[in-house]
Amino acid sequence: MVKLLSSKQENDINQYCFLIGKIPKENVNLHQSSKIGIDDAGITLHKHDPEKIVVHVQPLCAEPLPIEKDLLKFSTSCYVTTDNKNKGFYPNNRYDDVQERMAYLKENFEGKLILFRPKLTRRREDEPSFDTSPYHYNFNYVLKEDATEEELNDTYVAIPKYDKTKTHTQFEHTLKTKKPFQLKFHPSAYMDTPEFIYCDGYLYNIKNTDTLKPSPQNIFTYYAVNPEEITRIKAPDDWNSMTKLAIEELVFVSRKKVQELIDLVDEKGVSITKIGNENDAEEIIQSQEEYSLKNIEDLKQAEVKSSIKEYEFLEKFKQTVAKRGLHLSDETLFNFHTCMKTSMINIIGGMTGTGKSQLVRAYADALGLTGKGKDFDFLYIPISPSYTEPADVLGYLNQQTGIFMESETRLVSFLRRASENQERMFLVLLDEINLGQVEHYFSPFLSLLEMDEEDRVLRLFSETSFCHDENLRIGIPIRDNILIIGTANFDETTRDFSPRLLDRCNVITLEKQPFSELLEHELGEKSELMPISRIQKADFRDNWTKPTRGFGGLKREELILLDKLHEVLSEFDSQTGVSFRIAHSISRYMLNIPEDEEQRKMIKRQRAFDYQIKQRILTKIRGHRDQLEMLIGYYDFEQSKYYAGKLYQTLEEYKEELLEDISLCFIEKKAKELTRNGYTL
């Protein structure tokens, strides 16, 4: 008698395993206990309930290891479900008549490849037993795709995709250094070692099963034990057409095509341990060609020998973030840093408890800044709802005594120190920036941000006023050694940001990493903390920040998309759109994406551009349902289906070519909020 699996095994298989299959037309092969149809057709009526339709799917790939080895299921045996348990069968249609449903299922599912999740259902103890299996082999439908007769008769191999936010260089570094990495939807306890892993346009062939070692703590985590045995090839030009039923981090490729890939590995494959900078020269040149010749000349003139490389600083930043107990993706940190380089004021938003303030403090730590002592260069200001005018954060001049009464925030003293020490970097954190109306208490700074550096002087009072401190009379120069960052929550206790403010800053949303990854993160190999030294302005501004002129950081196609977005947004609100200021800021960001030691961008271009659309443009979308529904669409919660608006449709046209799915996911989230609440903030 076959033994039951553990409850954890059953739940993991039901939730994390994906299989590819087809609907058999006839002669369905089933365990006797699962024969619930009136005949052996792939789609048939339920023999006990004529209002239900029974659907069978035959697997065309390897099944989870416990099902094959412990339960001894035949690979040709089908999985079964009923249409009332899979709402995804009818995404846009509802049929009351069973014959109409039957006709719909046969027309839309027969002759297709089916992506499904196996579902193990324990048989009741009093249920008649015709075989040794303690389970019914059910399934949950996920996706379907058209297929030729040849494709329906082939078998398939699952190829996991490594984190799409990472470049192949980063992945190779992880493999070479034997650090842990995750393959979602390819759990090691249930699936064989993958033959190939896809990352950023490259395929990595795992020839031996012992090349990768699964983690004992996390079923999605692996280590490269023998990285020299991992071989890399560039994905073929027809890779997208070669893959079937692709989801976020998993694709299926026919066994015939996999053999072609193996032949390509034998012919052109290179061990990742032998890949060096010389192999990437062509791609580095292509990366440089993204910029105009004028900008390239600017870059050459701006290069000054740095005491610390930018990628070294980012490694230190990652360490200070981890030291403060935060668990954020590398890309989140790289995006944050790029925003800090290219905009004088930025805002971090997100739910309470995601570590917004701690992230800023970790950044200050990495810069070597301190908020203690007389030599402080980091200033923390908790914003109060009572702040309504500039005097609340700066102070005021007592006209009778001629004494300037500085605010308790100490901001004026801090700005004076920054102007007197222009070789150093200074950072201001405005915590919970929107508890007060930012445009009121911070208005002098918003005006200064648009001026050339030599014209940025903060006037605290009229030059004709009497003041004992003559230096304050002429104002405080605001130079580019000052960074300003605010944290924000979005609830009933806070104020909205005006378009004037949103036009001038990035609104960065922290993405919480899954809790399931925390344990592996904590147990992973700890690198030695790099020594903390103060980052000078010469490093931050002269070496790491590249000068821009106009739109030199943007491609023509990206500018065309910005024009289209402006047209769509301005149709719904003439005061909302893509201004020249925003386009210039996006260009500056794109030109300043940090590079690793091999001069590779640490954020892929499509994702960087996508981040900017979300952080600089989509943050302006707010209002009531009757204003925004045509723009961002709506969500049918009953059918779990999103109906796209004009903005989503415009961006979707450029997915993969210029964007990924960051902005699209944000718009869909906004549509859910709009449908649920009748408004969106």
Q: How buried is 110 (Cβ within 10 angstroms: 0-12 exposed, 13-18 middle, 19+ buried)? A: middle
pLDDT of 346 strictly over 70: yes
Give the pLDDT of residue 543.
92
Residues 6+ positions from 520 with CB-CB distance below 8 Å:
180, 182, 215, 217, 218, 221
Give the pLDDT of residue 607.
95
Structural contact between residues 445 and 501, judged by C-beta atoms closer than 8 angstroms: no
Mean pLDDT of the chain: 87
Percent of the chain topping pLDDT 70:
89
Give the pLDDT of residue 628.
93
Give the pLDDT of residue 568.
95
The per-residue pLDDT for range 347-358, each reduced to its tens digit, is 999 888 889 999
Mean pLDDT for 256-281 is 83
Give the pLDDT of residue 448.
87
The per-residue pLDDT for range 352-383, each reduced to its tens digit, is 888 999 999 999 999 999 988 778 999 999 99
Instruction: Identify the residue with better confidence: 564 or 39.
Output: 564
Give the pLDDT of residue 75.
81
Inter-CA distances, 494 with 409, 428, 445, Å: 20, 20, 21
The per-residue pLDDT for range 298-339, each reduced to its tens digit, is 444 444 444 689 999 999 999 999 999 898 889 999 999 999
Q: How buried is 458 (Cβ within 10 angstroms: 0-12 exposed, 13-18 middle, 19+ buried)? A: buried
Q: Is 185 helix (H, G, I), strand (E, B) or coil?
A: coil
pLDDT of 290 strictly over 50: no
Q: How many whole angstroms separate alpha carbon 512 and alpha carbon 263? A: 41
pLDDT of 30 strictly over 80: no
Across the strands, what pairs with 138?
80, 119
Could you list the beta-strand ranges (E) of 456-615. Answer: 457-458, 476-477, 482-488, 506-509
The per-residue pLDDT for range 146-177, each reduced to its tens digit, is 999 999 999 999 999 998 878 888 899 899 99
pLDDT tier, 647 (very low <50, low <70, confident <90, very high otherwise):
very high
Give the pLDDT of residue 654.
94
Give the pLDDT of residue 130.
53
Give the pLDDT of residue 77.
87
pLDDT of 218 strictly over 90: no
Give the pLDDT of residue 450.
74
The per-residue pLDDT for range 41-51, each reduced to its tens digit, is 899 999 999 89
Q: How many whole angstroms separate alpha carbon 54 and alpha carbon 525? A: 50
Give the pLDDT of residue 129.
54
pLDDT of 204 strictly over 60: yes
pLDDT of 270 strictly over 80: yes
pLDDT tier, 606 (very low <50, low <70, confident <90, very high otherwise):
very high
Q: How many whole angstroms separate alpha carbon 574 and alpha carbon 206? A: 55
pLDDT tier, 286 (very low <50, low <70, confident <90, very high otherwise):
very low
Give the pLDDT of residue 282.
41
Give the pLDDT of residue 295.
47
Could you list the beta-strand ranges (E) of 71-200. Answer: 79-82, 112-122, 135-146, 156-160, 181-182, 196-199
Give the pLDDT of residue 33.
46
Mean pLDDT for 394-416 is 93
Q: What H or E segment, with its residue span, contains residue 566?
A: helix 556-572
Mean pLDDT for 205-230 is 92
Q: What are phi and psi of 292, to 5 degrees?
A: -70, 160
pLDDT tier, 31 (very low <50, low <70, confident <90, very high otherwise):
low
pLDDT of 281 strictly over 50: no
Lowest-confidence pick of 167-171, 446-450, 456-460: 446-450
